[in-house]
């Protein structure tokens, strides 16, 4: 494991230990129609992104980011699915925002290199939601992983890289969230570019290494994979991890 991956693993471990305190807010659930429209136009069925399209359509994109930024989820007016759909959409939209603000770039990882004292692109505090300022790590580890027991978010949250889960070309919606997350899990696990699975041998994404505890919370990793894998894996199957391609997931 090289130094960058070691830092990434340590960052994931420690940030997941500290929850972001839930905020008092009077906001009510928002409509994700703008985001849905943008995704349908600028993301293809493989999850590859037309970042130039988002730049050209910046007025609409900024309108959606403003909607996110002025409506912080809360337990008073939002149910659990409304909150989780919001945070997944927010994470993905602000990831796109980070990339287009620094476009062109060969990789999202390169963005942090131009900012002094920032360890990774996921530590850049640029996300303002009501009176709070977050980075992407705060949202993923301090909010989503902390408050929602849902391993399938790792197939929905995107990092703008070829080996990451594909950006869905529709918004996550509370009323469709279960079917959307299930579909993401099936597509990701059975995608031979992300995972190579046979009955007796698996070469899987490093996502299953970095977030091993999330997938083994109630069963073994192979048991979890078998929930969605089209090929049923033996418990004694050999396991290794594929190289991770951090090149930008651009059309």
Q: Is the dihedral of CA 185, 124, 48, 13 positive or negative?
A: negative
Encode pLDDT of 118-129 as tens digits: 789 999 999 999
Q: What percent of the chain has pLDDT over 70?
A: 91
- Tokens standing for residue 101: 């603000």
Encode pLDDT of 135-180 as tens digits: 999 999 999 999 999 999 999 999 999 999 999 999 999 999 999 9
CA distance 233 to 60: 45
Q: Is residue 248 part of a domain?
A: no
More confident residue, 87 or 7: 87
Q: Is residue 221 part of a domain?
A: no
Q: Is residue 166 part of a domain?
A: yes
Q: Is residue 176 part of a domain?
A: yes
Q: How many domains does the chain have?
A: 1
Q: Is residue 214 part of a domain?
A: no
pTM exceeds 0.75 for this model? yes
196-197 and 201-204 beta bridge pairing? antiparallel
Q: Is residue 206 part of a domain?
A: no
Please report the beta strands in the chain, taking only residues with DSSP state E, as ranges in sequence order: 127-129, 132-134, 196-197, 201-204, 238-241
- Tokens standing for residue 81: 């699915």
CA distance 24 to 131: 11
Q: Is residue 26 part of a domain?
A: yes
Average pLDDT, the chain: 92
Query: Can you give the residue range of the structural domain that contains 139?
Result: 3-193
Q: Is residue 75 part of a domain?
A: yes
């Amino acid at each position: 494991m090289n130094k960058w991956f070691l830092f990434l693993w340590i960052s994931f471990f420690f940030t997941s230990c500290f929850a972001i305190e839930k905020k008092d807010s009077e906001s009510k659930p928002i409509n994700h129609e703008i985001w849905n429209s943008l995704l349908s136009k600028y993301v293809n069925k493989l999850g590859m992104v037309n970042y130039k399209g988002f730049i050209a359509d910046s007025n609409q994109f900024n309108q959606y980011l403003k909607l996110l930024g002025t409506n912080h989820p809360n337990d008073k007016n939002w149910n659990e699915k409304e909150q989780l759909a919001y945070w997944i959409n927010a994470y993905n939209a602000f990831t796109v925002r980070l990339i287009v603000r620094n476009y062109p770039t060969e990789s999202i990882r390169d963005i942090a290199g131009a900012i002094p004292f920032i360890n990774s692109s996921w530590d850049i505090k640029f996300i303002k939601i009501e009176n709070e300022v977050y980075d992407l790590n705060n949202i993923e580890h301090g909010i989503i992983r902390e408050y929602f027991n849902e391993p399938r978010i790792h197939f929905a949250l995107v990092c703008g890289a070829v080996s990451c889960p594909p950006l869905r070309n529709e918004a996550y919606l509370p009323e469709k969230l279960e079917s959307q997350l299930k579909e993401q899990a099936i597509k990701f696990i059975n995608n031979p570019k992300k995972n190579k699975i046979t009955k007796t041998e698996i070469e899987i994404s490093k996502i299953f290494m970095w977030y091993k505890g999330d997938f083994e919370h109630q069963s073994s990793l192979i048991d979890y994979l078998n929930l969605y894998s089209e090929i049923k894996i033996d418990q004694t199957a050999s396991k290794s991890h594929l190289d991770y391609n951090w090149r930008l997931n651009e059309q």
